[in-house]
Amino acid sequence: MGLIMQNGTDRQVLRFEEVTRTHVALVGGKNASLGELARFMKPRGINVAPGFATTAAMYWDFVDANGLRPIIDRVIAAYRKGTTTLAEAGATLRTAFLKGSFSAQALEAIRQAYSDLSQQFDSAATDVAVRSSATAEDLPDASFAGQQESFLNVRGETALFEACRSCFASLFTDRAISYRESKGYDHMKVALSVGVQKMVRADTGGAGVMFSIDTETGCDRVVLINAAWGLGENVVQGSVEPDEYEVFKPLLGPGNCAPIIEKRCGTKLQKLIYAAAAGALTCNVPTSAAERDALVLDDAEILQLSRWACVIEQHYGVPMDMEWARDGLGGDLYIVQARPETVQSRRKASTLQTYTVGKKGRLLLTGSSIGNAAVAGRVCVLSSARDIARFVDGSILVTMTTDPDWVPIMKRAAAIVTDEGGRTSHAAIVSRELGLPAIVGTGKATALLQDGAQITVSCAEGQDGFIYEGRAEITTTQIDLSSIPATRTKIMLNLADPAAAMHWWQLPADGVGLARMEFVVSNHVRIHPMSLVRFDTLKDPATRLEIERLTRGYPDKSEYFVDKLSRGLARIAAAMYPKPVIVRTSDFKTNEYANLIGGREFEPVEENPMIGFRGASRYYSPRYQDGFVLECRALARLRQTLGFSNVAVMIPFCRTLEEADRVLDVMAAHGLRRGENDLRVLMMCEIPSNVILAEEFAKRFDGFSIGSNDLTQLTLGIDRDSAELAALFDESNAAVQWMIRRAISAAHDAGISAGLCGQAPSDDPAFADLLVKYGIDSISVTPDSFVDVKRQVALSESRQGAAIAQAVA
């Protein structure tokens, strides 16, 4: 308390450096935090704009000098009785404050502090931000954030006095009165401190907010930064779409890593600047086309802010919500506010939900169940992704089928229902990763379900999904993840969508056994790599125009592909870091490649793409090798520049030994040499030739990952997408089982790992029992089935252990 006492009397103004976060009752939460930053963070190299705070003593001095206590009591009593409205009460009290006068002592304290601050910048009257910081004498943790006023670009003593008086008055905004009434806070025990801080000239630079936690998923290993041009109020208030950057904290060491896993350019349609008009402090103006297309922060600035966020979080000991600004004159970055984050950090991340459905309405439709949740809601039938404006957030999306264009709508849906598609369709895969229930392959949902109708989508009743009329009774149960049993067999995840990967960070998985590169390409890159490599040869003007639009800001169009792909994969790698993440190189079929922007000019038309020009055969072919080189460059950047050395590479659909050698040579020539920098290269074991020649393939790769879908298809000679033959498509068939056993045995004989990343264990956890029996090293499953498969494997291992013990006895 010695910091805030002088000659035995309470001081009315304190420099930020004299205040710590223990002084909330004196200067409010906001100013106490600024004092903490100035006192402890500046010595650690973090720029904090200087300033001072008026104390609660000044507020009460103002209230008493102007006889405001009885006015407050009378007006609040009338509001409680209903004889005056909230708006009338607020207006009366604010007017009374604005008519009040500061005491001579208060005026002199503010004048002297402002003079001292201005002299630091060789100015007679420097520009300052004036912000309100409410406090409650008996509630030291109360911050009342966002309920009082702030004023930017305040200059001169007269303007400062007026701003301070207006801050006092803002303690009685309508929303502040209503909030205190609802919480039962005594209005006469709440004071207001005014923070006066040197303006950072972000009006000519940029500003924004920063969190030391992922605000959507609660992942505490991510720094999230939003940025816009001009002063930061637009970002704080949500009045612009800012840039968004994400940085992975565990790799933010002193080394050369730059683990920026997300860089998204916002529209940033306006910016808040100093006003030129007399009487105005700030104003919004439109941004230029160049500003809208450019990122506000460069990589060095993103990393600097992220390191500061980590230092501040470490000091406070909790996830933090911060505001930052960049001075457009000198280019320096500053932290201008920091407070504990109060949403995600309070959620319990160690639980999952399960669902049961009761009091069901009439059964309307069935299909394949995706996920294990149940949702009741309003139907929204859309025939095209172009109808996004018609979609109501939280509705159940009903459509024929989906592709990457649907992802923005899918993210806003409560559940998804499609006429077409199976368990490996786009709708199924994306829904799993978004954690949404989906029912695919219903055949006639768009014809039968009426727009606006209320239905229940249940994916909580096994492999079949059910759509019921009306809103059923849905009960949820929390599963404690800490209770999930340990297993010898590694249980890993199948992931593809970077936007959804962080949703599963808390699962106790052993890594990612299959990261599907092609989904990252289709959802995030969207452009065929060869159309970037050979852009000058493109014939279609519309395609050229679309590529020009998407690659704005990338002088080298190939760099667009490498940058987008490497960062997309980085989000998946970050979700499980430092556990292994196996990235499969692109495994599109030619018809799927053709659907990428510019793809039709580079892809042949095939009668049966499933067994056509796909996988390894593309990587050394003149038709696609230059595109594969971009994939290699992205993977090399992912491991070396972004720092995710936990990433291994997997080659799909490798038909022959000669093909394996050629692909490995291409990879080595472009920064991905097997064994160098601990790089592991695995092979999808999904073709009968892979099993027949397993010993020879094992000499060339560090592990096999058995793809049960393709291996079943090619062993039984069944098109896995054929509805007519669906009943015959069975991974448990004796021939397929022989193939799986043989692959595992050959891998182990060669001293390499054998895993399985097919859909079968996800659809039927009992299938995992057979895999454990065969000695599989790892099973990779969809996130929604992880818990069931993990428990099934634990039971299988227990039974087999007991059987072995009995046999020995």
User: What angle, rounded to 10 degrees, do the helices at 734-749 and 708-716 form?
Assistant: 120
CA distance 654 to 685: 8
Conformational region of residue 283, where left means phi above 0, alpha means psi within -120 to 50, and beta covers everything else: beta
CB-neighbour burial class of residue 752 (10 A; exposed 0-12, middle 13-18, buried 19+) = buried
Please say whether the beta carbons of 740 and 706 come within 8 A. yes
- Classify 724 as helix, strand or coil: coil
Which one of 167, 257, 426, 503 is the catalytic residue? 426
Alpha-carbon gap, residue 485 to 126, rounded angstroms:
63
Angstrom CA distances, 282 to 125, 152, 231, stand at: 17, 7, 9
Q: Helix (H) and strand (E) counts for the chain?
A: 29, 32
What token pair was written down for 393? 């957030």
Rounded to whole angstroms, what are the CA distances from 398 to 199, 378, 389?
A: 51, 10, 15
755 and 781 in contact (C-beta within 8 Å)?
A: no
Which helix (H) or strand (E) segment holds residue 494: the answer is strand 490-495
CA 482 – CA 208 distance, rounded (Å):
37
Return all residues near 368 (Cβ < 8 A) that are at least 6 apart: 421, 422, 423, 428, 439, 440, 441, 463, 464, 465
In angstroms, rounded to a whole number, what is the distance separating the alpha carbons of residues 460 and 588?
31
CB 551 within 8 A of CB 532: yes
CA distance 738 to 721: 23
CB-based contact 30:339 (threshold 8 Å):
yes
- Give the residue from 681, 763, 669, 115 showing the smallest Cα distance to 432: 763
Cα separation of 457 and 436, whole Å?
A: 11
Active site (annotated) includes residue 426: yes
Give the separation between CA 474 and CA 329, rounded to whole angstroms: 58
The set of residues, in sequence order, having a beta carbon less than 8 Å from that of 187 and lying 6+ positions away, is 72, 76, 177, 180
Q: Among 261, 223, 270, which Cα is nearest to 242's? A: 270
Burial class (CB in 10 A: 0-12, 13-18, 19+), 745: middle
Q: Which among 159, 163, 164 is positioned nearest to 106, based on CA atoms?
A: 164
Q: CA-CA distance, 122 to 118, in Å (whole number)?
A: 6
Do 546 and 532 touch, CB atoms closer than 8 A? no
Composition of the chain by helix, strand, coil, percent to 5: 45, 20, 35
User: What are the strands, taking DSSP E only, across 344-443?
Assistant: 351-358, 363-370, 374-381, 396-399, 415-418, 438-440
3-state SS record for 600-655: HHCCCCCCCHHHCCCCHHHHCCCCCHHHHHHHHHHHHHHHHCCCCCCEEEEECCCC
Q: Which amino acid is at 168?
A: F
Give whole-number Cα distances, 642 to 512, 593, 635, 646, in Å: 18, 27, 10, 11
- Answer yes or no: 23 catalytic: no
Three-state DSSP state, 221: coil
Say which of 167, 459, 632, 757 is annotated catalytic. Answer: 757
- Helices 86-98 + 174-183 axis angle, to 10: 120
Q: Are 506 and 576 in contact (CB under 8 A)?
A: no
Residues that are catalytic: 426, 757
